[in-house]
Amino acid sequence: MGGDRNVLIIGGGIAGITAALELAEMAIPSTIIERENRLGGQAGVFACKASEKCNKCFACVVDNQIQEVNRRPQVKIMTESRLEGVSGQPGRFNAQVQWNGHGIMLDASVILVATGVDFFDARRKPEYGYGIFQNVITAHELDEMLRSKGRVRRPSDGHIPSKIAFLQCVGSRDETIGHLWCSKVCCAYALRFMRAIRHGNPEVQTSLFYIDIQPLGRSFESLLQSCRQDEGMRLIRSLPSKVYGHKRSADLRMRFIDPASGEIVEEGFDLVVLSIGMEPRQHAERVAEVLGIPKDEDGFYGSPPEDSGVFLAGACKGPRDIGSSMIDAKSTAQRIIQYLGGI
């Protein structure tokens, strides 16, 4: 084993950060290059979804890991930087990186791709009225609201809504847009949102419109049970096809099949939240090209060849929650260490 071992980590989201920390514990230095001006990626702006107790959303874990990685001298962090190209060979890579407008060269023994995912742009489903009706928001916007204000409010008037509808599978499990995957996290995050909101404002009624409820994690059973028992929550197995506006107010209406009676009903809501799913990251195309990373039929990354010195971690391989991304990153860090031991 000669020379300096170091790892170039592309992407400063939870997977990249976790991998950097694991490597740092083994005294292996790494450099994280991150496109945004902050670490944390998609999950870095999620809100805590606790109700009377922690609901295992892991949002705080992301914040904690960011703090932790900032403390490690072995991890160099370069925000607002992008990978432009790579040359060299496995074990001795040479990366061209754009950093704050300068082009610089970085040496690396191993490259770890942790570029994550994009969230589905809800404007691609115009029938849901996102971008048209003020009070149709995405789960992402709900996260931002809860994180910075602590309370959910209707965009139109700033008041707390009385009836919120969550629509599932927006951008997932949908052949009309060619997204033939389940994003895995949306059912759990919607249920957590509903619990958190109702804990803070018990007068708010929430309804979940879904196709199939997807379990996620060990505490999902108790989360689901508590939601089923909550009288202020309805879980409705019917996905409305369209969200309608209201002539004289910023309220919304939806038509759906009432599972109990089988009849079509129409109901009004004052806030609709679209549970958007994940999709392959558009701007990471370049990274995949440069490094020759294969893609699966859905556009998520497949494993690079064994001796290529290129590794993957986290949601860029396929939608996953924060906990699974961390586990995946730890497992990949272990593989990187074995690889470095052999070169």
Partner 1 sequence: MESFSPRIVAFCCDKSGYVAADMAGKLGISLPETLEIVRVPCAGRIDALHMLRALENGADGVLIFACHEENCQSLTGNLMVKARIGYVHGIMENIGLERDRLELCNLATNNGAKFAETVQRKYEDLKGLGPSPVK
Partner 2 sequence: MRSSGDCRIAVFLDHCNGALSHLLDEEMLRYISGLPHVVSCDQDENLSSPGGLESLADGLAKGQADRAVIVGGSPTVYEGSFRRLEGAPGLNPYMFLVANIREQVAWTIRERKRAREKARAVIARKIREACLLNPIGREKVKIPAEALVVGGGIVGIRAALVLANANIRVTLLTRAKNIGGKAIQLAHFYDRPDDVSPWFEKQVERVKEHPRIDVKTSVELKGFEGYLGDYRITIRDPHGKREVVRGSAVLLASGYDVVPNTEGIFGHRCFISPPRLEAMLREGGESLVDEKGNPIKAITFILDLVNETIKIDSANAIKNALLLRKDHDCRVYVVCRDVKVSLDGMEREYRRAREMGVIFVKYDDPPRFSLVNGQINVEVREVATRMMGEEYTLSIISDLVVISEKFVPSKDNAMLAGVFGIPLPTEGFLMDDNPQFAEVRANRRGVFIAGGCRYPQTLDEALVEAEAAASGVTQLLSQGLYEYDLAIAEIDPAKCAACLTCSRVCPHSAIVVEPHAEKNIYSTGGYGGDFKWRAARVMPTQCYGCGICVSSCPTKAISLKHLTDAEILLQMEA
Footprint of partner 1 (CB under 8 A): 46-48, 50, 52-54, 56, 59-60, 63-64, 67, 146-151
- Nearest approach, Cβ of residue 302 and partner 1 (Å): 34
Residue at 249: amino acid letter: S
Pick what 48 binds: partner 1, partner 2, none; C-beta below 5 to 8 Å, kind-dependent. Answer: partner 1
Residue 284's CB is within 10 A of a number of other CB atoms, namely 23
Q: What DSSP letter does each residue of 101-164 carry, written as one string?
A: TEEEEEEESEEEE---EEEP-GGG-GGG-BTTBTTEEEHHHHHHHHHHHSS---TTTSPPPSEE
212 binds partner 2 (CB under 8 A): yes
CA torsion, ordered 45, 49, 53, 59, to nearest 10 deg: -30
Site for partner 2 in 145-204 (CB under 8 A): 172-173, 180-182, 184, 187
15 binds partner 2 (CB under 8 A): no
Instruction: Answer whether 259's CB lies under 8 Å from 211's CB.
Output: no
299 binds partner 2 (CB under 8 A): no
100 binds partner 2 (CB under 8 A): no
335 binds partner 2 (CB under 8 A): yes
Could you tell me the two tokens for 318? Answer: 């396929």
- Nearest approach, Cβ of residue 172 and partner 2 (Å): 8
Pick what 150 binds: partner 2, partner 1, none; C-beta below 5 to 8 Å, kind-dependent. Answer: partner 1
CA distances from 80 to 39, 46, 195, 283, 341 (A): 10, 20, 36, 14, 32
- Nearest approach, Cβ of residue 149 and partner 1 (Å): 6
Helices 186-200, 220-229: crossing angle, 10 deg rounding: 50
- Contact residues: partner 2, CB under 8 A: 22, 25-27, 54, 56-58, 60-61, 64, 67, 70-73, 172-173, 180-182, 184, 187, 212-222, 224, 237-238, 257, 259-260, 262-263, 296-298, 317-318, 323-324, 326-328, 330-331, 333-335, 337-338, 341
